A = this chain, B = another copy of it.
C-alpha cells in the first residue's frame, strides 16, 4: 500500500514535470531525456512508470483533464435553473478547470494532435460529447426565448475560443480570481459591448 502510494505520487510528479515542459516547449520538442533531467533520474527509468513511453504521458495528461471537464459539466447539468444561469455556471466550471490546471490545460488544448490513432479517436469523441452539452444549453435558451436566435455552432465555437485562450493571459498572481474572470466573460457575452 505504501509503495503503491509512493509509486502513484512519483508518477504524478513525473506527469507534472512533463506537462510543464510540454506546455513551454511543445510535445514534439520535449525529449524523454529532457523530462528525466528535470525529474532527476535517467531517461530509461521513466519507462518504469510509463511503459509505453512518451505518448502514454501525453495521453495521461489529456484524459485526466478531460475527465475533470466532464465531472464539472455533469454537476452543472444537474442544476434546476434557467438556461441563462446554467450557461453561466457551465462557463464558470470550464474556466475553473483551466485555471486550476494551467499546464495540463495548455497541453490538452494544443498537443492532443500528437496522440496516437487510437487515443486520438477516443479524445475527439469525448470532446464532441462535451461540446454537445454546451450546445444543448444554448439551444434551450433559444427555444425559451432567453437567448437571441444565434447560430449555435458558431456561438459555441467563439465561446470555447475565448475561454480556452484565457490561460495564455491569466496570471495566477493577478488581481482577478477565476470566478471574476468567468463572470466578466459571461456578462460580456450576454449583454455585449454596446453602452
A interface residues (Cβ-Cβ under 8 A, vs B): 25-29, 84, 110, 113-114, 141, 145-148, 150-151, 154-155, 157-158, 160-166, 168-169, 176, 181, 184-185, 188-195
**CB atoms of B191 and A194 under 8 A apart:** yes
A185 to B, closest residue via Cβ: B158
Residue of B26, B84, B158, B161 touching A26 (CB-CB under 8 A): B26
Contacts beyond the supplied A150-B188, A157-B165, A157-B168: 19 A-B pairs with Cβ under 8 Å: A26-B113, A28-B28, A29-B114, A141-B193, A145-B195, A147-B195, A148-B192, A150-B184, A150-B193, A151-B184, A154-B184, A157-B169, A158-B188, A160-B165, A161-B168, A189-B193, A190-B192, A190-B194, A192-B192
**CB atoms of B166 and A162 under 8 A apart:** no
**CB atoms of A195 and B146 under 8 A apart:** yes
- Please measure, in the bound complex, the distance between the C-alpha atom of A166 and the C-alpha atom of B157, giving whole angstroms: 8
- Please measure, in the bound complex, the distance between the C-alpha atom of A194 and the C-alpha atom of B113, giving whole angstroms: 35
- Please measure, in the bound complex, the distance between the C-alpha atom of A189 and the C-alpha atom of B181, giving whole angstroms: 17
- Please measure, in the bound complex, the distance between the C-alpha atom of A28 and the C-alpha atom of B26, giving whole angstroms: 8
Shortest C-beta distance, A6 to chain B (Å), equals 34
- Please measure, in the bound complex, the distance between the C-alpha atom of A166 and the C-alpha atom of B162, giving whole angstroms: 11
- Please measure, in the bound complex, the distance between the C-alpha atom of A176 and the C-alpha atom of B84, giving whole angstroms: 27
**CB atoms of B157 and A161 under 8 A apart:** no
**CB atoms of B155 and A188 under 8 A apart:** yes
- Please measure, in the bound complex, the distance between the C-alpha atom of A62 and the C-alpha atom of B52, giving whole angstroms: 35
**CB atoms of B184 and A148 under 8 A apart:** no
**CB atoms of B147 and A194 under 8 A apart:** yes
- Please measure, in the bound complex, the distance between the C-alpha atom of A176 and the C-alpha atom of B145, giving whole angstroms: 25
- Please measure, in the bound complex, the distance between the C-alpha atom of A161 and the C-alpha atom of B185, giving whole angstroms: 12
Shortest C-beta distance, A157 to chain B (Å), equals 5
